[in-house]
Amino acid sequence: MNAPVAGSSRPHRSALDALEAALPKIVLGPTLICSLLFVYGFIAWTGVLSFTRSRLLPNYEFVGFTQYLKLFENERWWVALENLGVFAGLFVFVCMAVGLLLAILLDQKIRAEGFLRSIYLYPMALSFIVTGTAWKWILNPGLGVERLVRQMGFPGFTFDWLVNPKMSIYTVVIAGVWQSSGFVMALFLAGLRGIDDSIIKAAQVDGATMPRIYWSIIIPSLRPVFFSAVMILAHIAIKSFDLVMALTGGGPGFSSDLPATFMYAFGFTRNQIGLGAASAMMMLATVVAVIMPMMYSEVRRSRRG
Amino acid sequence: MVDHVRAESAGTRVAWRVIVYGLLILVAMYYLVPLFVMLTTSVKTLDEIRTGNLISLPTQVTFDAWAKAWGSACTGADCGGLKGNFWNSMRFVLPAVAISTLIGAFNGYVLTQWRFRGSDMLFTILLVGCFIPFQVVLLPMAQTLGWLGLANTTAGLVFVHVVYGLAFTTLFFRNFYVSVPEEMVKAARIDGAGFFTIFWRIILPLSPPIIVVCVIWQFTQIWNDFLFGVVFSSGERQPITVALNNLVNTSTGVKEYNVDMAAAIIAALPTLFVYVVAGKYFVRGLTAGSVKG
């Protein structure tokens, strides 16, 4: 604003002033270029690859929607999609239920609340690879939970989900919930602490019981937290890769594949770049479909704020 | 009559407290058991693992598995344990965290205190980087790193983690600096202070909390990353998460569960340490940057 004034009174400094005025844009520039190139540009590039015949190496012979047709004729892709449905549904639901329950319990003026909270949250500091490794051992058919329960006096007990193609995806749910539910607890607890006490006191004066207050006042007022927690968890579920790789490797066979492991397998180890690119684009489409509502509300909120 | 009601309600209150504490402790056990199992398994001998069970305590504690996991376990073709990969991870995680935090701080500063026409829209454009599944950039990035001569190098991993971390670090700092009163910066500008002077003298002294949050978040994310590590590096250059996964899933020879568990704990130690030392900031980062998976 005062740059032109300074420039006219001291002409020899005008170049410096112009530089000074442009500085904010210069500082933001590299990040913006990175974003345009490596996010938007690369998405477009992957999009282009998905319309080509690329196998081991990228190749720009266009074949229209062939790769997408191949993708949806591929049994393994359907297994991955079905698994994503099962995994995302259960993962989101159980994390929400456990997170909300823990948050409500912790909000009852608990002694050692901070200590308990940090126990519930420490899995979030671990890599999914570590979590997967730990649960792979715990769920080990033979030496893990199965052995433990048998030794406790149930010799007929079997627990072979890890090697059972029908059940393997559920082991991913178990480990995923273990890692992420504490985080949902933290979100809900923050929401609970933000609720105005006077409403609750008024309801108590009116003779409402605590369960009723929770059901008809407190939980409904946590709506925004529900909304964002579901979005975040769905997002984690769609991108899940490490956990499956460490826990089951997508197996037995490809029974616990998710889209992310499918994309890795075809794009990088099975030399089907075109097909891998097509599956990556489908993942992006899924994320966009889930995230769009959140982005929209986020942008609206930051405009108001 | 009144007293009777009061006594009864006190009784139910106590019962309710017992249920609440019982549930909380039960769930705490569920979270702690895997850590307990990992620790005890890692100090047992293989014989004891085969004869005992998950939660049995070791009769003799041995750190052989730890020594092997660190120094001589096989991760694929290479049999030097995890120590090389541990330092690999440190070598690219620390620069990537420092660079992405620094750039994020400047971006946040521009986006709040030096706003220009279209800067809000630029922020929205950047924000998209927080949401994309990274699978959608992997194939082009693999080729680009090859062209730049950065394939399978430490610099390449630094580059990738900085590029895809910027959206988050910018978001952190932007949301923090937005509450710095504009009058402060305006007054300094009228006094003739420039862009960097204001940053250095006014903004930076306010920043330690958000710097800690951002550094912890970035450190945890990049240390724990597997996807970029497995795609953009191989052999000796692999980060510790990839090496751990190779170690556990190597199918040759006898399965040494104690070594697996020791290796997993080694891979988790740096981030667990950060969590124990600065848990408060870790949680703040989680809730602020929770969009990332």
What ipTM goes with this model?
0.88
Chain B hits for A287, CB-CB cut-off 8 Å, are 131-133
Q: For the segment A48-87, what is each residue's pLDDT rounded down to a tens digit?
A: 999 988 888 888 888 888 889 989 999 999 999 999 999 9
Domains of chain A (ranges, CATH numbers): 3-49 (no CATH), 74-304 (1.10.3720.10)
Do B111 and B117 meet the contact criterion of CB atoms below 8 Å apart?
no
What is the structure's pLDDT at A145? 82
Q: Give the percent of chain A with pLDDT over 70.
A: 92
Domains of chain B (ranges, CATH numbers): 2-62 (no CATH), 83-288 (1.10.3720.10)
Assess B197–A contact: CB distance below 8 Å, yes or no: no
Residues in chain A: 305
Q: What angle do CA B132, B138, B140 make, to 5 degrees?
A: 110
Q: How far apart are CA B259 and CA A246, in angstroms?
A: 15
Q: Tokens for A241?
A: 């890769």
Q: For the segment A276-289, what is each residue's pLDDT rounded down to a tens digit?
A: 999 999 999 998 88
Which amino acid is it at B72? Answer: S
Residues in chain B: 293
Min Cα distance A65 → chain B (Å) is 17
What is the structure's pLDDT at A294? 67
Q: For the segment A252-264, what is each residue's pLDDT rounded down to a tens digit?
A: 888 899 999 999 9
Give A112 or B157, the one with higher predicted confidence: B157
Average pLDDT along chain B: 87
Which amino acid is it at B219? Answer: F
Does pLDDT of A170 surpass 80?
yes
Interface of A with B in 7-46 (CB under 8 A): 20, 23-25, 27-28, 30-32, 34-36, 38-43, 45-46
pLDDT band at B115 (very low <50, low <70, confident <90, very high): confident
Chain A hits for B106, CB-CB cut-off 8 Å, are 27-28
Which of A17, A28, A51, A209 to mutate against chain B (most B CBs within 10 Å)?
A: A28
Helices (H), A51-194: 66-73, 75-106, 113-121, 128-138, 145-151, 168-193
pLDDT band at A13 (very low <50, low <70, confident <90, very high): low
Do B243 and B231 meet the contact criterion of CB atoms below 8 Å apart?
no
Min Cα distance A141 → chain B (Å) is 12
Which is nearest to A183 in space by CA: A100, A245, A89? A100
Could B293 and A242 be called an inter-chain contact, meaning their C-beta atoms sit closer than 8 Å?
Answer: no
Q: For the segment A25-49, what is each residue's pLDDT rounded down to a tens digit?
A: 888 999 999 999 999 999 999 999 9
Interface of A with B in 188-217 (CB under 8 A): 190
Could B28 and A58 be called an inter-chain contact, meaning their C-beta atoms sit closer than 8 Å?
Answer: no
Q: How far apart are CA A42 and CA B136, in angstroms?
A: 7
Q: For the segment B138-187, what is each residue's pLDDT rounded down to a tens digit?
A: 999 999 999 999 988 999 999 999 999 999 899 989 988 988 888 888 88
Helices (H), chain B: 2-42, 46-51, 64-71, 83-113, 119-127, 135-147, 154-177, 182-190, 195-198, 204-206, 208-224, 227-232, 240-249, 257-288
Q: Tokens for A231?
A: 């979005």
Chain A hits for B263, CB-CB cut-off 8 Å, are 133
Could B249 and A295 be called an inter-chain contact, meaning their C-beta atoms sit closer than 8 Å?
Answer: no
Which is nearest to A87 in space by CA: A170, A181, A180, A184? A170
Which of B136, B138, B147, B186 to mutate against chain A (most A CBs within 10 Å)?
A: B136
Do B241 and B271 meet the contact criterion of CB atoms below 8 Å apart?
no
Q: What angle do CA A208, A209, A210 make, to 5 degrees?
A: 120
Backbone dihedral region for residue B290 (phi beyond 0: left; psi -120 to 50: alpha; all else: beta)? alpha
Could B54 and A129 be called an inter-chain contact, meaning their C-beta atoms sit closer than 8 Å?
Answer: no
Could A27 and B110 be called an inter-chain contact, meaning their C-beta atoms sit closer than 8 Å?
Answer: yes
Which of B111, B119, B135, B220 to mutate against chain A (most A CBs within 10 Å)?
A: B135
Do A172 and A246 meet the contact criterion of CB atoms below 8 Å apart?
no
pLDDT band at B290 (very low <50, low <70, confident <90, very high): low
